[in-house]
């Protein structure tokens, strides 16, 4: 195997492993192509640690005398330490971890090798497809159609082969509209609000450029969206100034003169590098051991993470207000339409639509809005908060989404069918996984690499009965109402379950939740017998 | 009594106004009739004659009035941090109401307070005034050790006005010695037993500061008294709740600290816990931050930081952990004091007991702790809780010392959600009643004052009301599982949260959280029910099996 050349020392005896919340243990360390395996020699209460190398964000090595210490900082924010006897062995291990943890080749990644005995490769990958989704939404038939204009990914490489568009717009018009939008991401339907027939559309920015080009087809397409209504809203996730500057690089925004029935709001949302830096600062603050309250609170403030959470939730709130309260359709976009647009359209759907709040509903929503609509997971999640590597495309947009969902869950503990444990699992899987769900940057790439044929799907695995029990919310009671989150700064909290997961006190809370969960399971068993 | 009622009548110029509109957080606006009585502000809507609002004047911290034309707006800010608005038509009525509220809410005379007028509408099953007598607590101690005795040296409160009539002291010390020691300690607060750690026989004592003064006065009896609590060859710890420089400065005013030379068997540790005005200002700033409407995350976090409240919580918890650590892990006895020994000292000794003693984590045990370590130990509740966060008057003796203690308990409860028999509501209830109550429990500043006021005869105890099944049910933690271990809370700043249940209680709707809580209670109760059913079925099955041996042979 090609991995072998990176592994000079596969086994080391007498290694001491230190990990949070547990006493240090001594045992054997093995390195394989994808894993770091540690097992201690205790006869009775034997412990094993199996860590995906992909989960390791950064390592530090320190030599003292003839032994060495490797500190591994993981993408799930855990910090592990290995004390390894023998300098050469230690260097070899460190080198293997460094190389194997950031292999670039997708097809060499673990999901392609993961073959659990109790699971055969799926007939159907994923929970649904645009076709199935459309066929289940009878309300759409009258005014909307499923277009396969992108069946070979030529119109928009980042869209799935089938998308939902207004019935009156033919594929030629779509092709022309696509040329007018960055990356070909022409406006498509992402949510239909059954209560009033209004919709959420998303796209990328229009390519006006400095000389204010226009595109009749794009205007027609948007016109068709609000047919029969007096107006629509556009939520641009950039500030007015940023949107204007985008014209210099060929982008822009929908001007009033050509889109006169659309009212535009600008809401600046942080993205890209700024978000990644915010995460790095937050994690650094959480790991601060100075035991000083002022320092902690100013570092927390300084990281701006909670401001980003607040901003995302309030922009989603604006979107919901337009659709649910004001009764108008909305188009959402920023620049590329693959980050903030997805974030707020997902949150808005959770707030409005009770179907998205069950476990299947939520995973289905993630599949539609993030996997099919293409969030570039591989680029965004290549590194997490500890990496020293120069930032490229990394950005914790998906993590920010999970944090916002957690805030919703905290404010409405009965309304969501899943628990915090699911959010934590997703936050871990998105950075390093046995499953193929978060591999690649788009549907097209996934097809090229046969991800759907050769890997397991996380969402399907999570819906198996045992897993489902574990991740469901015992307190869940469906409500048809919109769940309007409070976005007052005082109402938002740090997501301790994730950011302080490896500290003692969070553990006690987990135990309490575990207790309730066990009771419910017990209850279910008793009720059946 | 009639005289008092006459006095109230003088203060109430307009006892009744119709058409008053009431605005409250997260509740619909109500219009109704406003009535002022000697102790209450009552608003009842005219439709069904029910009272929409029944507010003790003593709960009112400050009021503001404002006029728009002849429509007056009165903003009432309560000590429990609630803010309500009244709209009153007619300038004269409004002014009269406002001045009556101002006068009635700041009555100074204790004997005019509502608890003296309140007659319980419930049956008292167990008189709370007798629930936690020192002699009963001492019986428990006697069962564990014979090294202590209950002294009556303070029976007429002459030796130490802030101590109860009975205190536990080392057996070998007679009352004469205690009298000498009392002259050497601030306010006569000679070292007394606060807690006996059954596991290893170590003790925690508390006292006032020693009066060494600038020329290093010493008192042999004091030295002997505290040395008597040490095991042979063992050292003890003195935890001084003041920073070393504050303790140094105290010498100039006659106070001081235990010098190494005179107390060679004791190691002194200084911890800086804030007191008085500093705490009161911290509370005022925090509440102001919580009510900030600016929507800016940065602003909120900086204001939270600037209030220093969380820092105070952390310092108190850290010191309590230190005391508990000395006792449980180091196997050493501890003496805690600050200046007077009635504020930060009690925070530390009572929290240390919560950490160490599972008994203090039950409903009754916690009541007993509050009674022992706060009420009888002489925390001046009336002075400290005279005003809360909204008051405009200059703070004198006010300080949220007890609220900070409750906040610290809440932090531990949150970190160990299954180890406490009571829930957050119980803590909130104690906060409310410490500031304004129909019960006499928190009146007065010491046992001596309470005795003078004849509170047990003339008022009802809060514990009489709380310890009834229907109240207990509301205050009990459904997740409780007795945990006999010492519980060590994390005091890392990241682990400490703002106590939303008090500070954001009126800023956010708690409807969804309450529903979730109820659902959880429901699940747990149903679970218990089914468990019982399963057990009885199992018993039946076992019985059938023994009765019918054929069942075993297929």
The half-sphere exposure of B234 on its side-chain side, counting CA atoms within 13 A, is 20
Structure confidence by residue, pLDDT tens digits, B207-227: 999 999 998 899 999 999 999
Residues of B in contact with A522 (CB under 8 A): 527, 530
| Average predicted confidence (pLDDT) for chain B | 91
What strands lie across the sheet with B334-337, from one edge to the other?
A: B192-197, B202-206, B334-337, B236-240, B266-270
- Give the model's pLDDT for residue B2: 46
- Give the model's pLDDT for residue B552: 53
Among A508, A511, A516, whose Cβ lies nearest the Cβ of B520?
A: A516
- Give the model's pLDDT for residue B310: 96
**Which residues fall within 8 angstroms of residue A373, CB to CB, at 6 or more apart?**
A159, A160, A190, A202, A338, A342
Please check the confidence at residue B297 and state whether its pLDDT lies above 60.
yes
How buried is residue B534: exposed, middle or buried, by Cβ count under 10 Å (0-12/13-18/19+)?
middle
Residues of A in contact with B533 (CB under 8 A): 526
Q: Does A295 touch chain B (CB under 8 A)?
A: yes
Please check the confidence at residue B46 and state whether its pLDDT lies above 70.
no
Cβ-Cβ contacts under 8 Å between A and B: the total is 122
Residue to mutate among B297, B417, B529, with most A CBs inside 10 A, is B297
Q: Is A82 helix (H, G, I), strand (E, B) or coil?
A: strand
Residues of A in contact with B497 (CB under 8 A): 493
Of residues A94 and B522, more confidence is placed in A94
Cβ contact B295–A293 (<8 Å): no
Please check the confidence at residue B167 and state whether its pLDDT lies above 80.
yes
* Nearest Cα residue in chain B from A291: B492
Of residues B44 and A43, more confidence is placed in B44
- Give the model's pLDDT for residue A125: 84
Cβ contact A486–B530 (<8 Å): no
Cβ contact B519–A477 (<8 Å): yes
The β-bridge relationship of strands B266-270 and B236-240 is: parallel
| Residue B29 structure tokens | 């606006």
Of residues B419 and A122, more confidence is placed in B419
Cβ contact A475–B520 (<8 Å): yes
- Give the model's pLDDT for residue A235: 96
Please check the confidence at residue B354 and state whether its pLDDT lies above 70.
yes
- Give the model's pLDDT for residue A207: 95
* Nearest Cα residue in chain A from B414: A509
- Give the model's pLDDT for residue B391: 86
Q: What is this structure's pTM?
A: 0.89
* Nearest Cα residue in chain A from B514: A413
Instruction: Locate all alpha helices (DSSP H) within B81-129, ordered by sequence.
Output: 91-105
Cβ contact B507–A477 (<8 Å): no
- Give the model's pLDDT for residue A247: 92
CA atoms A354, A360, A363, A365: torsion sign: negative
**Which residues fall within 8 angstroms of residue B193, CB to CB, at 6 or more apart?**
B141, B148, B167, B168, B169, B203, B204, B205
Q: Does A513 touch chain B (CB under 8 A)?
A: no
Residues of A in contact with B494 (CB under 8 A): 286, 288, 296, 496, 500, 503
Say if CB A321 and CB A344 are below 8 A apart: no
Residues of B in contact with A500 (CB under 8 A): 494-495
Q: Does A301 touch chain B (CB under 8 A)?
A: yes
Question: Per-residue confidence at B257, pLDDT binned at 50, 70, 90?
Answer: very high
Cβ contact B496–A293 (<8 Å): yes
What average pLDDT does this structure show over B167-177? Answer: 93
User: Distance (Å, rounded) from C-alpha B385 to C-alpha B442?
Assistant: 9
Instruction: Kindly report the number of other CB atoms within 10 A of residue A291's CB atom.
Output: 13
Cβ contact A413–B513 (<8 Å): yes
Please check the confidence at residue B6 and state whether its pLDDT lies above 70.
no
Residues of B in contact with A515 (CB under 8 A): 418, 479
Q: Does A525 touch chain B (CB under 8 A)?
A: no
* Nearest Cα residue in chain B from A504: B490
Q: Does A407 touch chain B (CB under 8 A)?
A: no
Q: What residues form DSSP beta bridges with A50?
A: A37
- Give the model's pLDDT for residue A171: 94
Cβ contact B295–A411 (<8 Å): no
Q: Shortest Cα distance from A430 to chain B (angstroms)?
A: 25
**Which residues fall within 8 angstroms of residue B215, CB to CB, at 6 or more apart?**
none
**Which residues fall within 8 angstroms of residue B28, CB to CB, at 6 or more apart?**
none
User: Distance (Å, rounded) from C-alpha B418 to C-alpha B482?
Assistant: 8
Cβ contact B418–A511 (<8 Å): yes
Question: Per-residue confidence at B13, pLDDT binned at 50, 70, 90?
Answer: confident
Cβ contact B301–A306 (<8 Å): yes
Among B297, B305, B490, whose Cβ lies nearest the Cβ of A294?
A: B305
Q: Report which of A38, A14, A13 is spatially closest to residue A97, judged by C-alpha positions.
A: A38
* Nearest Cα residue in chain B from A493: B497
| Residue A424 structure tokens | 């934590």
What strands lie across the sheet with A56-64, from one edge to the other?
A: A48-52, A35-40, A25-31, A11-18, A79-85, A67-74, A56-64
Per-residue buried b or exposed e for A509-525, using 16+ beta carbons within 10 Å of the residue's own CB: beeebeebbebbeebee
Among B290, B302, B311, whose Cβ lies nearest the Cβ of A293?
A: B311
Residues of A in contact with B493 (CB under 8 A): 291-293, 295-297
Question: Per-residue confidence at B357, pLDDT binned at 50, 70, 90?
Answer: very high
Q: Shortest Cα distance from B30 to chain A (angstroms)?
A: 24
Cβ contact A412–B418 (<8 Å): no
Q: Does A300 touch chain B (CB under 8 A)?
A: yes
Of residues A118 and B244, more confidence is placed in B244
Cβ contact B512–A413 (<8 Å): yes
Residues of B in contact with A472 (CB under 8 A): none
Q: Report which of A248, A317, A334, A279 is spatially closest to residue A482, judged by C-alpha positions.
A: A317
Among A292, A307, A520, whose Cβ lies nearest the Cβ of B297?
A: A307
pLDDT tens for each residue of chain A, 529 residues long: 577 788 888 899 999 999 888 888 999 999 998 999 999 877 666 778 899 999 999 999 998 888 899 999 999 999 999 999 988 899 999 999 998 988 888 888 999 999 888 777 767 788 999 999 999 999 999 999 999 999 999 999 999 999 999 999 999 999 999 999 999 999 999 999 999 999 999 999 999 998 889 999 999 999 999 988 889 999 999 999 999 999 999 999 998 889 999 999 999 998 888 999 999 999 999 988 888 999 999 999 999 999 999 999 999 999 999 999 999 999 999 999 999 999 999 999 999 999 999 999 999 999 999 999 899 999 999 889 898 777 788 999 999 999 999 999 999 999 999 999 999 999 999 999 999 999 999 888 988 999 988 999 999 999 998 899 899 998 898 999 999 999 999 999 999 999 998 876 556 666 666 666 676 666 666 666 5
* Nearest Cα residue in chain A from B493: A293
Q: Shortest Cα distance from A475 to chain B (angstroms)?
A: 6
Q: Shortest Cα distance from B301 to chain A (angstroms)?
A: 6
Cβ contact A516–B523 (<8 Å): yes
Residues of A in contact with B299 (CB under 8 A): 489
């Amino acid at each position: 195997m090609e991995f072998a050349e990176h592994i000079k020392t596969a086994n080391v005896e007498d290694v001491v492993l230190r990990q949070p919340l547990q006493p240090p243990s001594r045992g054997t360390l093995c390195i394989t192509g994808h894993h770091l395996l540690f097992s201690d020699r205790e006869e009775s209460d034997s412990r094993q640690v199996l860590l995906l190398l992909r989960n390791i964000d950064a390592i530090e090595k320190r030599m003292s005398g003839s032994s060495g210490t490797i500190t591994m900082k993981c993408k799930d924010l855990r910090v592990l330490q290995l004390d390894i006897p023998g300098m050469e062995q230690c260097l070899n291990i460190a080198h293997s971890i460094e190389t194997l943890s950031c292999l670039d080749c997708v097809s060499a990644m673990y999901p392609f090798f993961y073959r659990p005995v109790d699971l055969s490769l799926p007939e159907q990958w994923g929970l649904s497809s645009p076709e199935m989704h459309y066929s289940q939404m009878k309300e759409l038939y009258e005014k909307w159609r499923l277009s396969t204009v992108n069946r070979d990914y030529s119109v928009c490489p980042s869209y799935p082969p089938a998308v939902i568009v207004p019935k009156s717009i033919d594929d030629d018009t779509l092709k022309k509209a696509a040329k007018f939008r960055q990356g070909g991401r022409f406006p498509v339907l992402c949510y239909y609000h059954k209560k009033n027939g209004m919709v959420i559309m998303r796209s990328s920015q229009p390519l006006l450029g400095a000389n204010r080009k226009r595109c009749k087809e794009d205007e027609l397409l948007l016109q068709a969206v609000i047919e029969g209504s007096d107006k629509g809203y556009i939520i641009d996730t950039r500030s007015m100034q940023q949107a204007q500057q985008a014209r210099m690089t060929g982008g822009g925004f929908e001007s009033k003169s050509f889109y006169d029935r659309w009212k535009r709001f600008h809401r600046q949302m942080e993205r890209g590098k700024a978000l990644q830096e915010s995460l790095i600062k937050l994690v650094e603050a959480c790991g601060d051991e100075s035991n000083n309250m002022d320092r902690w609170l100013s570092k927390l403030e300084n990281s701006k993470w909670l401001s980003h959470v607040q901003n995302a939730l309030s922009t989603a709130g604006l979107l919901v207000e337009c659709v649910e309260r004001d009764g108008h359709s909305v188009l959402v976009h920023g620049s590329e339409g693959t980050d903030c647009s997805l974030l707020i359209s997902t949150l808005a759907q959770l707030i409005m639509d009770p179907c998205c709040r069950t476990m299947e509903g939520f995973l289905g929503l993630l599949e539609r809005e993030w996997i099919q609509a293409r969030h570039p997971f591989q680029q965004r999640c290549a590194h997490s908060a500890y990496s020293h590597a120069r930032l490229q495309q990394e950005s914790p947009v998906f993590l920010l989404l999970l944090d916002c969902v957690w805030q919703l869950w905290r404010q409405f503990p009965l309304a969501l069918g899943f628990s915090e444990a699911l959010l934590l699992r997703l936050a871990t899987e998105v950075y390093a996984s046995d499953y193929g769900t978060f591999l690649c940057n788009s549907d097209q790439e996934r097809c090229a690499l046969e991800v759907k044929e050769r890997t397991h799907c996380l969402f399907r695995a999570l819906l198996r009965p045992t897993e489902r029990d574990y991740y469901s919310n015992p307190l869940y009671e469906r409500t048809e109402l919109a769940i309007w989150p409070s976005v007052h700064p005082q109402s938002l909290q740090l997501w301790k379950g994730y950011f302080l997961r490896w500290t003692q006190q969070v553990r006690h809370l987990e135990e309490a939740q575990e207790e309730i969960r066990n009771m419910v399971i017990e209850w279910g068993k008793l009720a059946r017998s | 009594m009639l005289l008092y009622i006459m006095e109230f009548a003088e203060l109430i110029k307009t006892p009744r106004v119709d058409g008053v509109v009431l605005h409250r957080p997260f509740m619909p606006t109500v219009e109704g009739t406003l009535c002022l009585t000697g102790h209450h502000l009552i608003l009842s809507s005219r439709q069904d004659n029910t009272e929409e609002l029944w507010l003790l004047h003593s709960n009112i911290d400050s009021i503001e009035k404002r006029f728009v034309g002849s429509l007056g707006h009165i903003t009432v800010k309560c000590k429990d941090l609630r803010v309500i608005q009244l709209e009153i038509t007619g300038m004269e009525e409004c002014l009269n109401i406002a001045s009556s509220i101002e006068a009635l809410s700041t009555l100074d005379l204790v004997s005019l307070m509502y608890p003296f007028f309140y007659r319980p509408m419930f049956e008292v099953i167990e008189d709370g005034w007798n629930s936690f007598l020192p002699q009963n607590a001492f019986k428990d101690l006697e069962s564990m050790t014979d090294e202590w005795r209950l002294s009556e040296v303070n029976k007429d409160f002459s030796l130490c006005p802030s101590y109860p009539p009975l205190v536990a002291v080392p057996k070998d010390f007679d009352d004469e010695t205690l009298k000498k020691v009392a002259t050497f300690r601030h306010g006569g607060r000679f070292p007394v037993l606060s807690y006996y750690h059954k596991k290893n026989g170590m003790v925690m004592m508390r006292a006032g500061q020693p009066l060494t003064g600038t020329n290093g006065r010493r008192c042999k009896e004091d030295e002997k008294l505290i040395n008597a609590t040490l095991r042979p060859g063992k050292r003890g710890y003195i935890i001084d709740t003041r920073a070393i420089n504050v303790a140094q400065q105290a010498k100039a005013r006659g106070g001081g600290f235990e010098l190494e030379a005179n107390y060679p068997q004791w190691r002194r540790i200084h911890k800086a816990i804030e007191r008085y005005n500093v705490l009161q200002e911290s509370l005022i700033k925090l509440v102001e931050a919580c009510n900030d409407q600016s929507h800016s995350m940065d602003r909120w976090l900086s204001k939270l930081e600037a209030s220093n409240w969380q820092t105070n919580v952390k310092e108190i918890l850290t010191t309590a952990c230190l005391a508990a650590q000395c006792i449980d892990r180091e196997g050493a006895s501890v003496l805690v004091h600050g200046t007077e020994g009635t504020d930060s000292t009690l925070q530390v000794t009572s929290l240390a007991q919560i950490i160490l003693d599972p008994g203090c984590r039950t409903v009754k045990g916690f009541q007993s702790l509050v009674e022992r370590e706060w009420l009888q130990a002489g925390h001046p509740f009336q002075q400290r809780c005279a005003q809360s966060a909204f008051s405009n008057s200059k703070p004198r003796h006010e300080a949220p010392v007890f609220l900070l203690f409750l906040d610290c308990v809440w932090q531990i409860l949150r970190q160990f959600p299954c180890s406490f028999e009571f829930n957050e509501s119980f803590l909130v209830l104690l906060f409310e009643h410490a500031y304004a109550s129909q019960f006499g429990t928190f009146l007065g500043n010491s046992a001596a004052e309470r005795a003078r006021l004849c509170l047990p005869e003339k008022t009802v105890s809060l514990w009489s009301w709380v310890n009834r099944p229907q109240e207990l049910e509301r205050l009990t933690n459904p997740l409780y599982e007795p945990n006999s271990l010492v519980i060590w809370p994390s005091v890392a700043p990241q682990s400490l949260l703002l106590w939303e249940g008090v500070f954001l209680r009126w800023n956010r709707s708690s409807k969804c959280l309450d529903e979730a809580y109820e659902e959880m209670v429901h699940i747990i109760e149903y679970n218990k029910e089914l468990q019982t059913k399963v057990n009885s079925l199992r018993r039946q099955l076992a019985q059938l099996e023994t009765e019918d041996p054929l069942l075993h042979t297929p």
